[in-house]
Chains A and B, each alone.
Chain A
């Protein structure tokens, strides 16, 4: 079985994003970029399934600018076997990404597609579900445990109020939640080896997908700034404040 792992190059999660003063978006020039944290978890899960003998090949794919190659090399250094970059300088919405992935699935026939549950830049949480819909296949979103059993996969999902386990017929689409695993670091020798692994470059047009956005961003603003607060010297003052607010 092959596993397809889509990964996205996003602003590093430790960086506090700055909104451009003209309201056109978030300033990404000279900002540290990394692999989306949920996608690292997806790559790790694919590697663990391969190590457990459940998969033969892991294909990492990214839709984005030329620099997304770095993100794919990171996936290769972690343990993916080969990579596909669908190169475009346009921002591609989840629906269009899902259509590109659908075309790649048609070529590669993976048993599982493992994606992150959401990208930390647009916070959409859509691509995996959209891909499952376009493929007409089942989805196991927000996964905290994935167990393959023959031609089905049991996925434990993090839902409001607890956990839920569903059984999906394969091929299936799984999206990762934070507690699925702890991603490994790529070792230096593996980073060197990753440079020799195959990386194909394609374009959205190769898959016949129109990436014109359906949503037009009219403006991007800073969130309202909170008024500066006060510091109280002791618990008694805090209790008095709580009483003033009618809380206690």
Chain B
């Protein structure tokens, strides 16, 4: 089987999410990559070094700069003339483009797969991760999004794939990019961090979130996450949100501070290797999934913890 992988990048560097997708693709067969963007040859060169990659398609065109689904979906559909499967990381970009490609190919997409069981058989979580479905596709070609935390990352070096330029139709004339507002953070990226410190509604406001959560995270070299309640209350920007509707993470250590552990939140973090919960309510559902629990007032416990590390 020949597979095509959508490379996630910002026109300058390749995003880690791509590497896990390459691993999933390699389980199906030969791996080709697609780098679509503007002025992104450096990304294609980095992509060519990923271990196990056979070929890199480079579509360099101003119309592809922001990954607008209307423009890149036809490009991918063209390439599907000689690929059997296309895989995307289950990022917001992948989730935006993949179903558009699937519908144009008249196939059903497999969303957010967590394992490859056979050429056409995969597992995926449903009902906010409360059930795992094993599904088999009857379509001739496969369109798949891959949950990054469920697959090892392919080695970023060791490969030497050829880069082949592809043209594509360019601008479909339906949509245009206006602006982006990037949340600034010098901490590790949430979805690839080894340690995450996450805060919930109990943090009270953005100032106390900053005062209690950030020093602990910095001490541990951790990324900072949040529950939906903390985001909705405006303590932190929405891209901090961990959960069914936010980001899915699976770090080595997840420290949940003042988070009750609603189903929606657990869906985003319950595959973490070790879960640590600090909560003053000993009946909070978070303690049912926590490996280590501390029943304490976070306003005392967190500064003490930060001080003793």
Tell whether, in the assembled complex, residue B107 and residue A214 are in contact, meaning their CB atoms are under 8 Å apart: yes
Tell whether, in the assembled complex, residue B107 and residue A95 are in contact, meaning their CB atoms are under 8 Å apart: yes
Rounded to whole Å, the gap between the CB of B137 and the closest CB of chain A is: 6
Tell whether, in the assembled complex, residue A230 and residue B96 are in contact, meaning their CB atoms are under 8 Å apart: no
Rounded to whole Å, the gap between the CB of A102 and the closest CB of chain B is: 9
Neighbouring B residues of A106 by C-beta, 8 Å: none
Tell whether, in the assembled complex, residue A130 and residue B99 are in contact, meaning their CB atoms are under 8 Å apart: yes
Tell whether, in the assembled complex, residue B182 and residue A161 are in contact, meaning their CB atoms are under 8 Å apart: yes
**A183 CB-CB contact with B under 8 Å:** no
Neighbouring A residues of B109 by C-beta, 8 Å: 94-95, 124, 126, 130
Tell whether, in the assembled complex, residue A179 and residue B99 are in contact, meaning their CB atoms are under 8 Å apart: no
Stretch at the interface among B20-28, B36-44, B53-61, B285-293: B285-293
Neighbouring A residues of B270 by C-beta, 8 Å: 223, 226
**How many residues does chain A have at the interface if contact means C-beta atoms less than 8 Å apart?**
79
| 0/1 interface trace, chain A 233-248, chain B, CB 8 Å (1 if under) | 0111011011001011
- Range for the number of chain B residues in contact with chain A: 35 or more
**B125 CB-CB contact with A under 8 Å:** yes
Tell whether, in the assembled complex, residue B130 and residue A17 are in contact, meaning their CB atoms are under 8 Å apart: yes
**A169 CB-CB contact with B under 8 Å:** yes
Tell whether, in the assembled complex, residue A133 and residue B73 are in contact, meaning their CB atoms are under 8 Å apart: yes
Tell whether, in the assembled complex, residue A122 and residue B238 are in contact, meaning their CB atoms are under 8 Å apart: no
Within 8 A of B (CB), among A138-189: 138-139, 141-142, 144, 154, 157-169, 177-179
Tell whether, in the assembled complex, residue A123 and residue B125 are in contact, meaning their CB atoms are under 8 Å apart: yes
One of B104, B128, B247 near A120 (C-beta < 8 A): B128
Within 8 A of B (CB), among A195-231: 213-223, 226-227, 229-231
**A11 CB-CB contact with B under 8 Å:** yes
**B239 CB-CB contact with A under 8 Å:** yes
Q: Which of A138, A161, A163, A165 has the largest count of B CB atoms less than 10 A from its CB?
A: A161
Tell whether, in the assembled complex, residue B239 and residue A16 are in contact, meaning their CB atoms are under 8 Å apart: no
Rounded to whole Å, the gap between the CB of B213 and the closest CB of chain A is: 16
Stretch at the interface among B64-72, B150-158, B160-168, B199-207: B64-72
Rounded to whole Å, the gap between the CB of A80 and the closest CB of chain B is: 24
Tell whether, in the assembled complex, residue A161 and residue B137 are in contact, meaning their CB atoms are under 8 Å apart: no
Tell whether, in the assembled complex, residue A215 and residue B289 are in contact, meaning their CB atoms are under 8 Å apart: no
Residue ranges of B at the interface with A (Cβ–Cβ < 8 Å): 66, 68-70, 73, 91-93, 95-104, 106-112, 121, 125-139, 173-183, 191, 195, 219-220, 228, 231-232, 237-239, 244-245, 247, 252-253, 263-264, 270, 274-276, 282, 287, 289-296, 301, 304-305, 308-309
Please list 18 pairs of residues, one from A and one from B, whose beta carbons are closer than 8 Å in the complex, sorted by A's number: A26-B131, A120-B244, A122-B126, A123-B125, A125-B99, A126-B99, A129-B100, A130-B102, A133-B101, A133-B104, A138-B174, A163-B181, A164-B177, A215-B137, A216-B136, A219-B133, A232-B293, A235-B305
Residue ranges of A at the interface with B (Cβ–Cβ < 8 Å): 11, 13-14, 16-17, 19, 26, 93-95, 98, 117-118, 120-134, 136-139, 141-142, 144, 154, 157-169, 177-179, 213-223, 226-227, 229-232, 234-236, 238-239, 241-242, 245, 247-248
Q: Which 8 A-B pairs have the closest CB atoms?
A: A129-B99, A133-B103, A130-B103, A214-B108, A126-B99, A138-B174, A229-B291, A138-B175
